[in-house]
Amino acid sequence: MTASFADEEFTSMQMKGVEPVEIKVDVEAAAKRLSRAVQFPTISNQDRSDFDVKAFEGYHQFLVEAYPNVHKTLKREKLGKPRPYSLLYTWEGKDPSLPPVVFMAHQDVVPIAEESRDQWKQEPFSGAIADGYIWGRGVLDDKNQIHAILEAAEMKIKEGFQPNRTIYFVFGHDEEVGGPEGVKHIVDVLEGRGINEIAFVIDESAPLIPGVFPGIKENSALIGIAQKGYMSLQLSVNGEGGHSSQPPEHSNIGILAAAITKLENTQFPYKINRAVRYQYRFMGPELPKEKQPMYEAVAFGNDSKTTELEKKFIDEMAAQQVTRAMLHTTIAVTMFNAGIKDNVLPPSATAVVNFRIAPGDSKEGVIAHVKQAIDDDRVQIKDISASTPPTNIADPYGSGYKMLEKTIRQTWGNDLIVSPFFVIGGSDSKHFQARPFAPNVYTITGIQLESMEEFGGFHGVNERILVDEYGRSIAFFYQLMNNLEELK
Ligand SMILES: [Zn+2]
């Protein structure tokens, strides 16, 4: 990592002269296997008692049949606490002294919203292959990634390949609800086995799409280098209920509503964190000329003072909801409950507020902020989530990032912008990246989409991917396994 930007020029960081690599993939056969995978409804519902054991067991059995060489060569463990439906595969490397790497994806999918069912052009769990696409819930988020990894490994094993360093595959079963049972537990297990350094982790994030980042029309491959923390607080007011004919001046609902209004009026201040600086160091030189001085100020700025150009950047980013979230810890009021009858004063009122914690803030700091903003002892505050802190920031100058950029260019060519970026959501890999032994987590969904419209299938309707692009995704992971030798 460069310790200081002082002497650096604001020039393009794009890797030059990478030759594309052609890899032959039997994509028809692979598409059929992904289609079968979609047919197991491995749904994560918000109500965790609604868990389809049969879907996960069937899916696990299908994987064994579909990838015989992987299951002959790699050790497979079913882990998770309390429910053991996450999968940890160990592909023993030739040199046990080298720190291992981790390839991640998740088995679970989000439910289909009933009111949207009739908008699907294919049954969401049919795995239909039609019009050049594979259709269904999970083909983009995130069974595509599980299967691209397994297809690539199956090909490599047939060729007699053994990696130099140990590769783990980690496939969680509850990513869509934060991963408290699956990957969090697997990270504990690996740590418990004495692994004190993981060289490189890859997990899902944004796919390659033209226009994926506001303001960039070109095709881009964004590599996530840091993820926000997560916490949900329950706010509650408990007091006298009673008959609505003789109400107090301020009801429990009124007190809680006032508290929430005060909290929303006390937003966390905007800051430019280190991951955002890295992002604009790489992205900035590829953006329109007239804004370059501003991006340069962000890239080379420091936390001790905010320059005029940085203030301008903050104003621009804060004007849009997606980019605003990059600048601070966000406050989202997601649930509000009280009352059961029109003439009864409820004895309690509760609300849930979800926070995505920016680097530099902490859970304790957020709770202190909330208490101060509300400033009312009648409101009780409780952490009800499997909360996680903001993660470490992966090194965009390191060999892991370079290897990934090279693999992206070998697979998709050089007509695209590759840049690190700050992830305002998070995936299962945050459980690795939040710990000191695995800071270098890079997140990208290794598939090319045609347009932002197609990206709407992600948690939405008509989730689908092009069969040919799925083939390219397999080639990407195959090439990444080759390039692992370059990791330092
Ligand atoms: Zn996902």
Where in the sequence is the domain holding 282, given as residue range(s)? 274-324
Model pTM score: 0.94
CA of 458 to the centre of ligand 1 (A): 8
- Is the same domain home to 118 and 63? yes
**Cα–ligand 1 centroid distance for 480 (angstroms):** 20
Whether 432 and 318 share a structural domain: no
**Any domain includes 9:** no
Same domain, 157 and 127: yes
Query: Percent of the chain beyond pLDDT 70?
Result: 99
| CATH code, domain with 91 | 3.40.630.10
CB count in 10 Å sphere of residue 210: 16
- On the question of pLDDT at 1 being above 50, the answer is no
Q: Which of 308, 324, 340 is the last residue of a domain?
A: 324
Told to judge if 175 belongs to the known catalytic residues of this protein, a careful annotator would answer yes
Please list the alpha-helical segments (H only) found in 222-300.
252-264, 274-283, 292-300
Residues 115 and 92 in one domain: yes
> Does residue 19 lie in a domain region?
no
Residue 392 DSSP one-character state: P
CATH number at residue 362: 3.30.70.360
pLDDT in tens, 132-154: 999 999 999 999 999 999 999 99
Q: Which of 61-70, 146-155, 260-269, 420-429 has the lowest mean pLDDT?
A: 420-429
Cα 56 to Cα 76: distance, rounded to the nearest angstrom: 15
Pair (206, 245) in one structural domain: no
Alpha carbon of 286 to ligand 1 centroid (Å):
28
Q: Report pLDDT for 6.
A: 58
The predicted pLDDT at position 2 comes to 47
Task: Give the residue-averaged pLDDT of 323-343.
Answer: 96
Q: Is 116 helix (H, G, I), strand (E, B) or coil?
A: helix
Tell me how far the alpha carbon of residue 337 is from its chain's centroid. Answer: 29
Tell me whether residue 411 is in a domain: yes
Question: Cα(18) to centroid of ligand 1, in Å?
Answer: 29
User: pLDDT of 235-287, one tens digit each?
Assistant: 999 988 888 999 999 999 999 999 999 999 999 999 999 999 999 999 999 99
In this structure, the answer to whether residues 92 and 184 fall within a common structural domain is yes
Q: Is residue 481 part of a domain?
A: yes
Average pLDDT value for residue range 169-195: 96
Question: In the predicted model, what is the mean pLDDT of residues 370-375?
Answer: 98
CA 183 / ligand 1 centre spacing (Å) = 13
Residue 118 falls within a domain, yes or no?
yes
**Catalytic, out of 108, 151, 176, 463:** 108
Q: Are residues 208 and 284 part of one domain?
A: no
Is the model more confident about 407 or about 453? 407
Query: What confidence score (pLDDT) does residue 455 get?
Result: 87
Q: Are residues 171 and 72 in the same domain?
A: yes
Q: What is the mean pLDDT of residues 95-102?
A: 96
Whether 114 and 146 map to the same domain: the answer is: yes
* Whether residue 377 has pLDDT greater than 70: yes
The answer to the question of residue 260 being in a domain is yes
- pLDDT given for residue 133 in this prediction: 97
Q: Which candidate in 174, 175, 181, 463 is catalytic? A: 175
pLDDT at 5: 59
Residue 430's pLDDT is what?
96
pLDDT of the residue at 4: 53
Q: Which DSSP state fits 437?
A: T
In a domain, residue 432? The reply is yes
What is the pLDDT of the chain when averaged over all its residues?
A: 95
Q: Are residues 155 and 278 in the same domain?
A: no
Query: Rounded distance, CA 427 to CA 422, Å?
Result: 13
- Boundary of a domain, candidates 358, 383, 408: 383
453 included as an active-site residue: no
Residues 211 and 243 in one domain: no
pLDDT given at position 217: 87
Q: Out of 362, 383, 404, pick the residue that ends a domain.
A: 383
Q: State pLDDT tens for residues 440-467.
A: 999 999 999 998 888 888 889 999 999 9
Taking the centre of ligand 1 as the mean of its atom positions, its distance from the CA of residue 467, in whole angstroms, is: 19
3, pLDDT greater than 60: no
In contact, 221 and 208? CB cutoff 8 Å: yes
Co-location of 121 and 146 in the same domain: yes
pLDDT, average across residues 100-112: 97
CA of 426 to the centre of ligand 1 (A): 9
Distance of CA 106 from the midpoint of ligand 1 (Å): 7
First to last CA, the chain: 13
Q: Would you state the torsion angle of the CA atoms of residues 150, 156, 162, 165, taken in this order, to the nearest 10 degrees? A: -50
Query: How many domains is the chain partitioned into structurally?
Result: 3
Does 452 reside within a domain? yes
CA 371 to ligand 1 center in whole angstroms = 33
Are 469 and 447 in contact by the 8 Å Cβ rule? The answer is yes
Per-residue model confidence as pLDDT tens digits over 5-46: 556 899 999 999 999 999 999 999 999 999 999 999 999 998
Q: What's residue 453's pLDDT?
A: 86
Distances (CA, A) of 197 to 95, 157, 167, 203: 15, 26, 13, 17
Q: Is the peptide bond before 82 cis (omega within 30 degrees of 0)?
A: yes
